[in-house]
Amino acid sequence: MTSWQQRKGKYKLQSASYFRFLRFLVFLNLMSFFLIGCFVLIPNVTIRSLKLTTTSNSSVKNDTECTYYNPTPTGLVNFFNYVLDILSGTGMLEFSYLFYGFYESGEVDLVKKISYNIPVSYLVTCLCYMLFCIIWIVLSNDVFLHYFCSLVFSAWDFRLKSEKFIKLKQKTIRYEFQMELEEAEAHRAALHRTMSDNARLYGYRVALNLVVIACITGAFYCIYLATQESQRLQSETSFLLGLLIEYLPSVVITAANFIVPMICDFVMRFEAYTLSMQIKVILFRAVFLRFASLGVLLFSLWAQITCGGDVTATDCKACEYNYGHNYTMLSLIVSLHVMYKLMIFDLLTITLVTLLVEFPRRMLVDFCSWKLVKLWGYQQFLVPQNILQLIYGQTVVWIGVFFCPLLPLLNTIKFILIFYCKKLTLFRNCRPAEKTFRSARSNFFFRIILLIGLFVSCVPLGYSVAKIQPSKGCGPFRSLSRIWDVIPNSVAELPITTQQFLYFLGSQAFAVPLFLLCCHFMLYLINCVVF
Amino acid sequence: MGSSASQLTKELLSEYQELTFLTKQEILLAHCRFKELLPKESRNTMDYRVPMEKILTMPELKSNPFRQRICYVFSTSEAKDGSLSFEDFLDFLSVFSDSATPEIKSHYAFRIFDFDDDGTLDRNDLVKLVNCLTGDAPETRLSQEEMNQLIGNILEESDIDKDGTVNLSEFQHVISRSPDFVSSFKIVL
């Protein structure tokens, strides 16, 4: 039996949860794309190709400064420009269905009295998409009320034939059982620690946590600086330098997400947590870092877009489509460019790391006979960190989806590529992690983090829908002062009884108990699994 | 049902296809493999019951910790010696095939784990089950303390009527929540 086949056997046991999670995300994105496709994309494509006229409620000056930019360049265009366009989401991609700005505003009269209101459908579809994601994640859960039972009763794989695999499987099962029991023992030991021991230990932990917080704050400051610089220097004409500057926030975020966990790992050695507590703390810090860095990025963008909330600042007055300088129409496009770039950069990082780090490392370990190299060994496939990367990618998509409706489709393709890439690297270049993460309970834990990501990405969405003034020259909401206004406007056109019903649904008498009920349900689910 | 021919007739083949979850190719392959287990002189009759020792020489079962239980569960011999006729063999392959329903699989899993054949999984059954899972040698077994804790947890979670044993419906309820079970409860020749 070759060592490759042996490793393959051990992998299937550990990394199955990663690939299951990845498949779940691919499905989620695909379903979301169908939803968006049906209600936003296809109607808009038909309207545009049939050249149906749209009637809008308020008049928008046609001779505004926000004229469309002609995306088809004149003269010779080389392939390199197309590649750059795809990488940075500008140029020909900008005036495609990919971005919000391309969608019409106003209503289209279909048959007699029925008309299709584009802005309403856009907003409502987006909200439904978020709701759909929440429901899908919550409902497709395997709630583990019977953790130990599932562990023991479905532990055995009857497909295993060779004695070597069977012994390996028995060893893994024994290790899993012992880990569970070690947990219980550690809890009991923690209860019996003396006062002075406890005090010393907690002292250490506080100090080390301060170190970690300092690192994370440093990372945030770098991200903030990078975003500011990137926006400021965007008018660079040199293509390659310009591209680099555009990708600066993504680079800094990825670097932070790489370096800070390494520091945390180092710090972890002195903190004396039990094995599973260690894993939870590592994950908590990593999750916090990823989501908060996205938050910092959004905050710095907002500061730029709204000139720090000051509407009268010179930069924010005009609405001119001259990308690089003015910020109202561009504002939204800029923010979605960043999400698009984060997504692409994530994909590039994963593929390049596989090609340039993992394959060479394996080559080195296989062919070089130095002891130090052999000790270093193959890359470990750490399931939790890899899953976190997937959740991060999905959160980026959720943040950007309102202004970039086709992002779920791109994300589906991206995840499929990652699937095959990781499968390849798993069997060729990696070895099993030394500390296995309990895959049964962890599945639910990762779904919870995914839900948290979803809620985190609803915050900027809610803010932009309710507060920010949409750009005047493009997009479905160009004639309104707030995106949300489209809903009250169309509700006012419905018959009276329906209006009253909807007002009731939105009133405090109904919404507050509903919200409390949902919170209660969520807490119940979490409670069942954690305890 | 006796057959004196060493080849499966078409009627028998279609009958087996209807009664089991196996496809035609799987039944023919099973027929081939079963014939190999028969001693030379009995190769022409399919009535013969293959003793357990011979069945356990098959590579698919040779190292499986549950091999004896599988033979006992699927055997229909009056002597309860674990010997399998060809139809018992097909039954076995049918339950472990790709197309068997999860209910059938969980039902037979329960019977296989029920080491004392009393219709419930009591403490002793669970101890034997865990020993099979971790390996029954002294260096691979869990310690007594670990075992007690584990069994205690299992009974706490799954014993709904609190009688100290796990019955079939409690077992099936647990298994239905487990996503891995159906794909791992398979044996293919």
> Is A161 in the B-facing interface, judged by CB distances under 8 Å?
yes
Are A149 and B174 inside 8 Å of each other by CB?
A: yes
For residue B76, being part of any structural domain is answered with yes
Instruction: Verify that A444 and A528 share a domain, yes or no.
Output: no
B positions 1-30 inside 8 Å of A (CB): none
Same-domain pairing of A178 and A314: yes
Q: Give me the count of residues in chain B.
A: 189
Q: What is the pLDDT of residues B2-35, one digit of tens each?
A: 444 467 788 888 998 898 999 999 999 998 898 8
Q: A200 in contact with B at a CB cutoff of 8 Å?
A: no
Residues A334 and A425 in one domain: yes
| Closest A-chain CA to B142 | A174
Position B42 scores a pLDDT of 73
**Which residues, other chains included, contact A90 with Cβ-Cβ below 8 Å and sequence gap of 6+?**
A323, A337
The verdict on A296 and A318 lying in the same domain is: yes
Average pLDDT of the residues of chain A:
72
3-state helix, strand, coil in chain A (%, to 5): 70, 5, 25
* CATH number of B31's domain: 1.10.238.10
Same domain, B66 and B120: no
B149 and B83 share one domain? no
> What digits encode the pLDDT tens for the residues A34-55?
888 888 888 778 877 777 666 6
Domain that holds residue A291: 2-493
**Average pLDDT along chain B:** 86
Instruction: Please give the Cα distance from A253 to A492 (Å, whole number).
Output: 45
Question: Which of A145, A158, A171 is closest, CB to CB, to B64?
Answer: A158
pLDDT in tens, B42-51: 777 667 888 8
pLDDT for A128? 84
Same domain, B57 and B81: yes
Distance to chain A for B10, nearest Cα, Å: 30
State whether residue B176 sits within 8 Å of chain A by CB. no
For residue B173, tell me if it sits in a domain: yes
**A140 shares contact with chain B (CB less than 8 Å):** no
Residue ending a domain, among B60, B95, B130, is: B95
Within this chain, do residues B53 and B113 fall inside the same structural domain, yes or no? no
pLDDT at A404 over 70: yes
pLDDT mean over A88-105 = 64
Number of structural domains chain A divides into: 2
Residues with Cβ within 8 Å of residue A375, at least 6 apart in sequence: none
B157 domain-assigned: yes
Q: Provide the domain count of chain B.
A: 2
pLDDT digits (tens, 9 = 90+) for A296-354: 777 777 666 655 544 444 444 444 333 333 444 444 555 567 777 788 888 888 888 77
Q: Which two tokens stand for residue A183?
A: 């947990």
Same domain (yes/no): B47, B67: yes
Q: Is residue B189 in some structural domain?
A: no
For position A339, what pLDDT does the model report?
75
Residue B150 and residue B66 share a domain? no
Whole-prediction pTM = 0.64
Same domain, A59 and A169: yes
Domain check: are B82 and B158 in the same one? Answer: no
The answer to whether residue B135 neighbours chain A at the CB level (below 8 Å) is yes
3-state secondary structure A22-65: HHHHHHHHHHHHHHHHHHHHHHHHHHHHCCCCEECCCCCCCCCC
Q: How many CB atoms lie within 10 A of CB A455?
A: 12
Per-residue pLDDT averaged across A74-80, rounded?
58
Q: Are residues B10 and B81 in the same domain?
A: yes
pLDDT digits (tens, 9 = 90+) for A117-174: 777 788 888 888 888 887 777 666 554 456 677 778 888 888 888 888 888 888 888 8
Out of B58, B80, B95, a domain closes at B95
Residues of A in contact with B126 (CB under 8 A): 152
Query: Are A475 and A335 spatial neighbours (Cβ–Cβ below 8 Å)?
Result: no
Range of the domain at B121: 102-184
Alpha carbon distance A407, A83 (integer Å): 18
Whether residue A32 is found in the same domain as residue A162: yes
Nearest to A18 by CA among A340, A430, A295: A430
Check: CB of residue A418 under 8 Å from CB of residue A26.
no
Domain boundary among B33, B60, B95: B95
Segment A410-435 mean pLDDT? 79
- A513 or B86, which is more confident? B86
Asked if the structure places residue B60 within a domain, the reply is: yes
Number of other residues whose CB lies within 10 A of the CB of residue A360 = 11
**Whether B127 and B175 share a structural domain:** yes
Domain for residue B21, yes or no?
Answer: yes
A397 and A502 belong to one structural domain: no
B94 has pLDDT over 90: yes
The answer on A505 and A411 residing in a single domain is no
pLDDT of residue A188: 61
Please indicate, yes or no, whether residues B84 and B136 belong to a single structural domain of this protein.
no
Element (H, E) at A363: helix A359-367
Give pLDDT, residue A55. 63
Predicted confidence band of residue B106 (pLDDT cuts 50, 70, 90): very high
Nearest to B154 among A149, A157, A174 (CB): A149
Tokens linked to B117? 């054949």
CA R_g for chain A: 26
To 5 degrees, how large is the angle CA A273–CA A277–CA A278? Answer: 65
At A498-511, the pLDDT tens digits run: 778 777 777 777 77
Query: Which position has the higher pLDDT, A32 or A136?
Result: A32
| 3-state SS track over A198-260 | HHHHHHHHHHHHHHHHHHHHHHHHHHHHHHHHHHHCCCCCCHHHHHHHHCHHHHHHHHHHHHH
Claim to verify: residue A455 and residue A484 sit in the same structural domain:
yes
